[in-house]
Amino acid sequence: MNMNANQVSDVLRHARRLVVKVGSSLVTNEGRGLDEVAIGEWSRQLAALVRGGADGVPREVIMVSSGAIAEGMKRLGWTSRPKEIHELQAAAAVGQMGLAQMYETKLRENGIGSAQVLLTHADLADRERYLNARSTLLTLLGLGVVPVINENDTVVNDEIKFGDNDTLGALVANLVEADALVILTDQKGLYTADPRRDPAAQFVHEAKAGDPALEAMAGGAGSSIGRGGMITKILAAKRAAGSGASTVIAWGREPDVLLRLVQGQSIGTLLVAQTAKTQARKQWMADHLQLRGAVVVDDGAATKLRHEGKSLLPIGMTAVEGEFARGDVIAVRDASGAEIARGLANYASAEARLLCRKPSLEFEPLLGYAAEPEMVHRDNLVLMGG
């Protein structure tokens, strides 16, 4: 289970795109109200990461923050958590105002822009919305803005809820193909048993993400504010590892926790992904997605894809096969019919047929709107047989 110290520090040191998740109990100081000092501290560190202040390397960071329900309950004067789902949803809507506002203020004080993004399970299960969410988040990251994400509690009920933001954090890590997921909580990390209940529990420094032995160690939530407990964090690490992201579970009040992690300090519990990102992406495309159609490309485009790692532009397309929607997986074939690659289509088949052989300047007059210059962006493309 153990790795040597260099490997451990390298995982976070080399991470360029991170998803940081903080739980309700930390964000709201166990339900007492938004913890301005703590949010200020994380914001200062997030800003430093974006600027490269930790080690001279700028990073892209997404914050997944819980706390809306707890803060909403406080604002509404409710002392116990309501049972009715619509009351929880109402509390979340009230609390989310304060939550977003506080991150906005604290990040701005540190010279960094922020953006509120509310997501549901259905958003990520729907391929078009998945692609839209992905494009929006990647655009925000490219702008140096920190997206602050929570579940869109207003429109979900129990059955389709993520339910805990650990899962949401992992799905966001999958969505943007993050290098690492950092879960900040009220414990130093994972112990062999719930330390609140078992004083003999031993700290786990590192393990393989997805190791089934971890699931047996994890108990439920420790406070009345937190929801998932450690089990959802262990499962989140497994899920994040599916797209090649390693997970760290650490104490959110550890001084400079985020900065020290990316400097390679061994803090918290590291759950190492066993699959590299590119391999994971290939696997994901191969396993989860059905081919909906294909585009045929000319020799020039085939060379750019195969040997130069470029995106597929419509100008290199000669034909479109089948019917597909934006966000569907399509094959890219060369003139001989050989499959070069698979990827997520930015355009539905009907639009793609209009765009064949066309330069991007002509897209707007043809479609009536300006959209992506690529048919398949290189980030959403995997080469076959390579």
Ligand X SMILES: N[C@@H](CCC(=O)OP(=O)(O)O)C(=O)O
Ligand Y SMILES: Nc1ncnc2c1ncn2[C@@H]1O[C@H](COP(=O)(O)OP(=O)(O)O)[C@@H](O)[C@H]1O
| Feature table: binding site for substrate | 66, 153, 165
Among the listed ranges 52-60, 174-182, 225-233, 341-349, the one in contact with ligand Y (CB under 6 A) is: 225-233
Instruction: Scan residues 49-78 and list those touching ligand X (CB under 6 A).
Output: 66-70
- Binding site as annotated, residues: 21, 66, 153, 165, 185-186
How far is C-alpha 365 from the geometric centre of its chain's CA atoms?
Answer: 35
Instruction: Scan residues 162-201 and list those touching ligand Y (CB under 6 A).
Output: 185-187, 190-191, 193-196
Report residue 288 as tokens: 């989860």
Burial class (CB in 10 A: 0-12, 13-18, 19+), 369: exposed
Instruction: Scan residues 221-250 and list those touching ligand X (CB under 6 A).
Output: 226-228
Separation CA 61–CA 78 (nearest Å): 33
Residue 193 binding: pick among ligand Y, ligand X, none (C-beta 5-8 Å cut-off by kind): ligand Y
Residue 153 binding: pick among ligand Y, ligand X, none (C-beta 5-8 Å cut-off by kind): ligand X
Instruction: Give the shortest CB-192-to-ligand Y separation in angstroms.
Output: 7
Report residue 40 as tokens: 């200020």
Q: Is 24 in the site for ligand Y (CB under 6 A)?
A: yes
Nearer to ligand X, 155 or 335 (CB): 155
Instruction: Rule CB under 6 A: choose which of 23, 147, 189, 293 binds ligand X.
Output: 23
Residue 92 binding: pick among ligand X, ligand Y, none (C-beta 5-8 Å cut-off by kind): ligand X
Nearer to ligand X, 223 or 265 (CB): 223
Separation CA 249–CA 271 (nearest Å): 8
User: 139-168 mask for ligand X (x: CB under 6 A)?
Assistant: -----------xx-x----------xxx--
Separation CA 245–CA 58 (nearest Å): 18
Residue 68 binding: pick among ligand X, ligand Y, none (C-beta 5-8 Å cut-off by kind): ligand X
Burial class (CB in 10 A: 0-12, 13-18, 19+), 267: buried
H or E element: which one contains 286?
A: helix 277-288
Separation CA 343–CA 131 (nearest Å): 11
Q: Is 228 in the site for ligand Y (CB under 6 A)?
A: yes
**DSSP reduced 3-state for 291:** strand
Separation CA 25–CA 248 (nearest Å): 18
Instruction: Give the shortest CB-267-to-ligand X separation in angstroms.
Output: 19
Instruction: Decide: 241 and 306 in contact? Cβ < 8 Å.
Output: no
Q: Where on the chain is the footprint of ligand Y (CB under 6 A)?
A: 23-26, 185-187, 190-191, 193-196, 217-219, 221-223, 226-230
